[in-house]
Structure 1
Amino acid sequence: MRAMLRWAHADLRTHRGEALFMVAATAGIVASLLLATALFGYATNPWQRVFTQSRGAHVWIHTGPGADAGSLAALDGVEQLSGPYRTAAGTVASRGARAGVELRATGAEPPATGRPLLTSGRWLDDTVPDGVVLESGLARALWAEPGDRLTLPAGRTLTVLGVADSAEPRYRPGERPGIVWALPRAVPDTRGGGKVVGLRLTDPDDTDYTVQRAVTALGAGAVTDVSTWQQSRAEAQSDTKLLGQVLGLFGIGALLAAALAVFGAISTRVRGHLRDISVLKAIGFTPGQVVCVFLVQHVAFAVLGATLATAVVQTLGRRLPGRLGDAVGVWQGLPGHMAELLAVPVAAVLFIGAATCLAAWRAGRVDPVPVVPATTAPGSGPRRTSPRAGLSRAALGALALRVPAALVLGWHQAFGRGRRAPATIFRLALPLLLVTVALSAWTTIERFDSRPEQLGHAAALTARPDVTLTDRRASALLEANDKVTAAHPGLEVAALVPGQTGTIALRGLGTRDEPYPYTIAEGRALAGPDEAVAGQGLLDLLDVRVGDWIRVTVGGHPQVLHLVGRSIEPENGGRVVSTSLDTLRENDPALSPTLYQLRLEPGADPSTVRAELTHASKGHLDIHEVTTPADRLSALRGVVVGLITVLALIGLTELSTAIGGSIRDGERDLLALKAIGFSPRQITAVTVTAIGCTALAAALAATALGVPFAHWLIDHEARTTGIGSGIAQAPPVGYIAAMSAAAVLGAIALAVLPAARAARRRLADTLSSVA
């Protein structure tokens, strides 16, 4: 054991740089996997925590004021009701911000089912009749805190008593109103009001069936909206789930690349230490001891890297900026945190150890007595072969064309080593391929910012007039601004899907004379009556295709639409069907636009236009900037940079191994090259050319495979999330060229110094190494 430790210590001192790279790469991989685990926990568990602690309802049903929602308690499978509560729609303002709200009449005691969880302040109090509690997302949008005053359009004011979390669907500006819990006397009994009731089920898996029975019992015309716990959970996960998937995918890919790098490093070390291994066996080392030395040494590197990563994430993870820090903070407070914190590093170490075993096993098979090459007769000294021996026709042709011999021999050394060259290229190409995928993800996110009109966001602003503005007056105000190129009128309503198991978004935008420019990924744009386009999420939900007819129910009225195209729909999980406002009016002439989608002049600042329109309308227009997935995925940019750094470390590890292997493989040719008059500079050029050619081949392979793979992967992910395929964007040629140039130039820079040192070795040292 003492001898084994001494040999391992001497080997470590000889290869310090390679060991450092191995530890750093392992640390980066484990850190990525831990952050991915934290994001997955952050995406799922906060909503689950709120749902469990509040005894959340599995189904929330909005009805008209005359519906007997309380009768749903008699349905089989319904364990308990939350409500029914009387509701009223309205708009509140605070500190210059406005938001649409649903005022919900409840009591001075929080309900037992669907109970909001207070995060600050207190619950409703009979002594404060105008007191309200805000849903946390609404409170953030209004910059409201306990003690603030909210203003209603009629001049009434409300006092914020508290802020609470809820497991219901979150507030979305211009799309879904925020919830305001208030005492019954503070909720006006208006004609536009209604009721909302929550159903807690004995079996959550029966949600769709229960919804269908509830809608049948109340009547389809009485139901205005249905939301289920699955939809709320998916919505809560949507902003961070993709981040976790990206980190997990790249973490696994980086783990595989690191395992291959370890395998290559040990294989190269075995070839370079055949003489030392033979000596170890000659002095009594068993094959098992030799295998143990290599295995334990590299597993120790992995353990050290995993320990460093775990310590850094545990101590400094919550201080990371943005959502990553929040995710780590939430993850550290969950019950299974410690088990995951230990399981991820252990799994990474075991994976790297498994990849190490095969190469270490090869070390144990080395003969105790070195085998003399067949081309060298005993006692005849080193080989007297010319470097031209075994050259391919292409190499000989290049020499005939007076290509410098150093370049030709370097190319031959890179690709004339049998199976070793493809293996080295593959190991180096894998991290470069993952970098290509990361660059593609970055470019796709940038596309949402730079060209949103190509990804379902032709409009930059959404304007919603209040009840005092007529359609004609609102259109005139919007079109009077010289920076607004088009103001498409429209409305969005909740529609019941066939089977009445849930609701989707039915959107009518633009007119036949001025159609809204939907982003069509499949099929064609709207051209006639009853034609519509749908998002991928809706196609999957209804199991239909482009060209089919669908039937949905809006306020008790059926609407039959012909799907002529698939549009890119980043919102609502793609569960959106869009048509023209004229088509909706044919079914119900009383419909009037409730919103306007504003397209701006190129280069116009949406914030400036918003301020100008708000001032011109004297506050009668509620205007919001259209949010894109890029806003929700902004944290992914930092993640991509971190992943590229990790992959670069792995690539440097593999390059270090390739350089060492190339120098060892060229030691025998070194004698012949010096004998025929090659200078140390020319000999250095041979090795540097070999490494440069290997890096160039790996970069070309990574580009050729990585770009189509990234395109498929991003589109597949977009399809599964409901956005739909067609959003993937290949990195600019400049990015790919820069990556390839960095790989080749970095490889050459790393190879120059060790190649120059090897070229200046004394002939006596070279003879001893090849003897």
Structure 2
Amino acid sequence: MSAVWRASRAAVKRRRLQTVVIGLVVFCSTMTVMLALGLLLATEGPFEKSFEKQRGAHAVTTLDRSKVTDAQAAASGRRPGVAASAGPFGLAVLDVPTDLAGSPPGPLAVVGRADPAGPVDRVELLVGRWATRPGEIVLGSAHGGYDDGSLGLKVEARGAPPLTVVGFATSMSKSAAAWVAPAQMAALHPKAVQMLYRFDVADTSEDFASSLAGATAELPRGAVTSSQSYFTLKRAFSSLADAYLPFMTVFGVLGLLVSVLIVGNVVSGAVVSGYRHIGVLKALGFTPNQVVAVYLVMISVPAVVGCALGTLAGGLLTEPVLKIAFGGIQTGTAAIGLSPWVVVLCLLGMPALVAVTALVPALRAHRLSAARAITAGSSPRTGRGLRVQRALAGTRLPRAVSLGLGQPFTRPGRAGLTMAAIVLGVVTVTVTVGLTSTMLAFGNAGRGDGKARVAVQVGRADQQQTAPKLNDAAIEKLLRTLPGASEVTARGLLQVRLSGYAQNRFGNFYRGDPAVDASLLVAGRLPKGPGEVLASPEFLAQHGLALGDRVTLEAGGRKVAGAIVGKTMEGNPLALDTSWETLERLSPGTEAIEYGVRLAPGADAQAYVDAVQAADPGLYATVASSGNNVTTTVVGFSSVFTILLSTVAALGVFNTVLLNVRERRRDLGMLKSIGMTPRQVVVMTVTSVAGLGFVGGLLGIPLGVAGHRWIVDHVGIVEFPAAMKDVWAAPQLLGLGLAGVAIAALGAAVPARSAGRMRIAKVLHNE
């Protein structure tokens, strides 16, 4: 074994360039794969682990108290197919007219529960203690201002006694917004009861529907008013991460394929160019298996180093990616981070993949006899590609170009691997160009008028701000009359419930000029009358709604019937947009919390901000950012991946050209001795792979276009209109067609210059 190690170490030192190429390829690929796997496992593992740990409810069901008794509700939890149940718990919806611990006013779903434990939906306390006496309440973690200083807050709802906050808690099932002791429920006048179920079988939505139907089969008709599926919670948990997953997956697969191709190419080239070395090893007594081991160890050393560094870099990059992907959502007790299995898989899997890839070409060394290996040399066998070379010689192409175009046919296997790497590089470039065009169009949607935008927030005392001197109507009038104003839109905020759904949602209510530009709509129209709703694709998907469906909004004991009249490209999956008339019917007298101002073309945005602040210190105006975080993130990461994978593809070309130059040293010396200039040698060498680059570009463009379309069609939180998907134009495609040539030329530049500088006397003397 020591002899194998010494021979392998000597081979690593002798082939330093190939060693560096392999290390860089594995480094880039490991980092790319680690990002994709880290994001994929983060969307599945943390939710499932925490959901099982807290015995999350597969179904959170609300029953009408006037149609079902507690005994009937409890009996439903003992039906066949129900693995465990909890309840019945009294459920009351309180109307909270003011902000509560950082959340806007609106309905508050309160459940009477004796303790946070139980067979289903074990609630975890974050701060404080559980409510055990009347007059106490525990708020859910959706109320963002929870800490020790928030304990003791008073919850004052219409028609209910004051309640003191004694704790904050979280539930993976999102079964309630707050909890009180059962003895408190009578004073809250509950009109519903809650049952929590875990089913024996709930692997698919069909299983869930069947199990829920079985559990509620004996309840009176109309007793079930709403039922929340854990599939909805799971989708909401990973909705933003799922948006990044398609393009991470594409780049991860491309990285793996490039690694396999280039490692195979490097090892194959090392075997072919090292025939004499193989023969000498066998002549010295190395067995065929030891010779194979020499080449595998020679490849594994840089692969292990590249994998370790790639894992380290990937780990450092994955954490901020996960922070972006899960930012702004409620994750309950789920710990979002890089799974240790991803690190282990990359550290063990990537070197193993490299070793398996290297084994196939290394077996050629196993089969060679010592005598044949020593006498074979490193030159291509006579007659390979001669027919093609002769045909090219008969054309009017310059001799250096015709010789270069014919070279790939002398090593068709190596040429095929090199072209495949170039194809993947072109695919990567094409996908990135398409994504960049789509995301820039998405980021600029609604901003085509070129008008600057100013956001004006109304000061609030609970946020240690100065309250405005003017009332709602006077503020809007002021903003319209200040110099530069073109359009003003007021926004009110209120928590609302959709009839038939357990969780509260945020309602944005707009007054004045349209808040949403028509270009942001993918279907339908803007809301006009009361109850008309505009929603995002993810909101509709999580609620099982579609354009035209009827909905009823509830708040403050009032209801407004309406319908989904429009769908935007993207938006908050927990919020809906509707008209100010809807707000007047749900919560009369509610004032706007924010105003959006569009300025006239050429108006000075900062001057307008200063004028607002001078007019009323209780108004906080800022120039709205013209950027888009999603666009910046996707374009940024796509560009990084493109640079990495294009560099890797160029390194593959570099290795191929380097091997070709070393194999053809005698031929190059002969050509230079009969008059070929160094410049012609460079042209011939670059042309030998430029043809592969051109063909690779033609093959890679349609694959890249298909990859781009697949990504934009599978971003769940955004629904791109056709105009943002069809981004390809003739100049773009022409430029992409040259991307393969550019990658090939970049990889061939250094060895081509080395070949051009080669001294004739030294080459022929060595021969």
TM score, norm. by length of structure 2: 0.71
Asked if 1:120 is matched to 2:140, the reply is: no
CA displacement, residues 29-51 of structure 1 (integer Å, 9 cap, x when unaligned): 33443444433343334434443
Shift in Å, 1:460: 10
Residue matched to 1:364: 366
Match for 1:352: what amino acid?
Answer: V
Match for 1:30: what amino acid?
Answer: T
Residue matched to 2:255: 254
Shift in Å, 1:300: 3.5
Match for 2:390: what amino acid?
Answer: G
Correspondent of 1:345 among 340, 344, 347? 347
Aligned positions, number: 723
Contact 2:42 2:336 in 1 (8 A): no
C-alpha separation in 1, matches of 2:542 and 2:510: 25
Asked if 1:653 is matched to 2:646, the reply is: no
Local SS of the residue matching 2:714: helix
C-alpha separation in 2, matches of 1:80 and 1:725: 45
Shift in Å, 1:232: 1.0
C-alpha separation in 1, matches of 2:475 and 2:660: 74
CA displacement, residues 400-449 of structure 1 (integer Å, 9 cap, x when unaligned): xxxxx545544554678656444422212213423432454455444443
Asked if 1:39 is matched to 2:39, the reply is: yes
Asked if 1:397 is matched to 2:391, the reply is: no
Local SS of the residue matching 2:89: strand
Match for 2:17: what amino acid?
Answer: G
Residue matched to 1:683: 681
Alignment of 1:494-513 (within 5 A): none
Residue matched to 1:663: 661
Asked if 1:74 is matched to 2:71, the reply is: no
C-alpha separation in 1, matches of 2:534 and 2:217: 27
Q: 1:645 to 1:117 in 2, by over 3 A?
A: farther
Correspondent of 2:194 among 193, 197, 202? 197
Shift in Å, 1:504: 12
Shift in Å, 1:27: 3.2
Match for 1:166: what amino acid?
Answer: S
Residue matched to 2:96: 90
Local SS of the residue matching 2:143: helix
Residue matched to 2:241: 240
CA displacement, residues 65-123 of structure 1 (integer Å, 9 cap, x when unaligned): 8675845323234722262232213254479x652354454569533353431233444
C-alpha separation in 2, matches of 1:149 and 1:331: 24
Q: 1:289 to 1:46 in 2, by over 3 A?
A: closer
Residue matched to 2:444: 450
Alignment of 1:72-471 (within 5 A): 72-75=73-76, 76=79, 77=82, 79-81=85-87, 83-93=89-99, 99-100=104-105, 102-105=107-110, 110-112=115-117, 113-124=120-131, 129=135, 133-139=138-144, 146-147=150-151, 161-169=166-174, 179-181=177-179, 195=192, 197-203=194-200, 205=202, 207-209=208-210, 217=219, 223=225, 226-244=227-245, 246-310=247-311, 323=323, 338-366=340-368, 368-369=371-372, 370-371=375-376, 390=390, 392=392, 396-399=395-398, 406-407=400-401, 409-413=403-407, 418=412, 420-451=414-445
Match for 1:86: what amino acid?
Answer: A
Residue matched to 1:16: 16
Local SS of the residue matching 1:38: helix
Asked if 1:484 is matched to 2:481, the reply is: no
Match for 1:682: what amino acid?
Answer: Q
Q: 1:147 to 1:333 in 2, by over 3 A?
A: closer
Q: 1:37 to 1:409 in 2, by over 3 A?
A: closer
Residue matched to 1:380: none
Contact 1:266 1:360 in 2 (8 A): yes
Local SS of the residue matching 1:57: coil
Local SS of the residue matching 1:678: coil
Shift in Å, 1:714: 1.6
Q: 1:611 to 1:84 in 2, by over 3 A?
A: farther
Contact 1:18 1:656 in 2 (8 A): no
Shift in Å, 1:260: 0.6
Q: 1:376 to 1:99 in 2, by over 3 A?
A: closer
Q: 1:321 to 1:734 in 2, by over 3 A?
A: farther
Match for 1:25: what amino acid?
Answer: V
CA displacement, residues 227-251 of structure 1 (integer Å, 9 cap, x when unaligned): 2211112101112234455434422
Local SS of the residue matching 1:86: strand
Shift in Å, 1:288: 3.7
Contact 2:54 2:121 in 1 (8 A): yes
Residue matched to 1:711: 708
C-alpha separation in 2, matches of 1:617 and 1:36: 50
C-alpha separation in 1, matches of 2:380 and 2:32: 49
Shift in Å, 1:167: 1.6
Shift in Å, 1:298: 1.8
C-alpha separation in 2, matches of 1:579 and 1:190: 30
Contact 1:431 1:647 in 2 (8 A): yes
RMSD over equivalenced CA pairs, Å = 6.3
Shift in Å, 1:347: 2.8
C-alpha separation in 2, matches of 1:147 and 1:330: 20
Contact 2:65 2:193 in 1 (8 A): no
C-alpha separation in 1, matches of 2:401 and 2:307: 41
C-alpha separation in 2, matches of 1:763 and 1:65: 98
Contact 1:534 1:567 in 2 (8 A): yes
C-alpha separation in 1, matches of 2:318 and 2:726: 33
Contact 1:65 1:195 in 2 (8 A): yes
Local SS of the residue matching 2:396: helix
CA displacement, residues 444-471 of structure 1 (integer Å, 9 cap, x when unaligned): 44444332689xxxx998999x9xx999
Local SS of the residue matching 1:99: coil
Match for 1:303: what amino acid?
Answer: V
Gaps of 5+ in 1: 171-177, 378-382, 400-404
Shift in Å, 1:262: 0.5
Local SS of the residue matching 2:87: strand
Contact 2:172 2:332 in 1 (8 A): no
Local SS of the residue matching 1:657: helix
C-alpha separation in 2, matches of 1:438 and 1:336: 26
Local SS of the residue matching 2:33: helix
Contact 1:22 1:302 in 2 (8 A): yes
Local SS of the residue matching 2:116: coil
Range with greater deviation from structure 2 (600-609 or 684-693):
600-609
Contact 2:536 2:573 in 1 (8 A): no
Shift in Å, 1:254: 0.7
Q: 1:215 to 1:568 in 2, by over 3 A?
A: farther
Range with greater deviation from structure 2 (350-359 or 29-38):
29-38
Q: 1:437 to 1:137 in 2, by over 3 A?
A: farther
Shift in Å, 1:276: 3.0
C-alpha separation in 2, matches of 1:626 and 1:214: 50
Local SS of the residue matching 1:397: coil
Gaps of 5+ in 2: 461-469
C-alpha separation in 2, matches of 1:544 and 1:670: 70
TM score, norm. by length of structure 1: 0.70
Local SS of the residue matching 2:390: coil
Match for 1:165: what amino acid?
Answer: T
Match for 1:294: what amino acid?
Answer: Y
Q: 1:453 to 1:302 in 2, by over 3 A?
A: same
Match for 2:234: what amino acid?
Answer: R
C-alpha separation in 2, matches of 1:767 and 1:159: 95
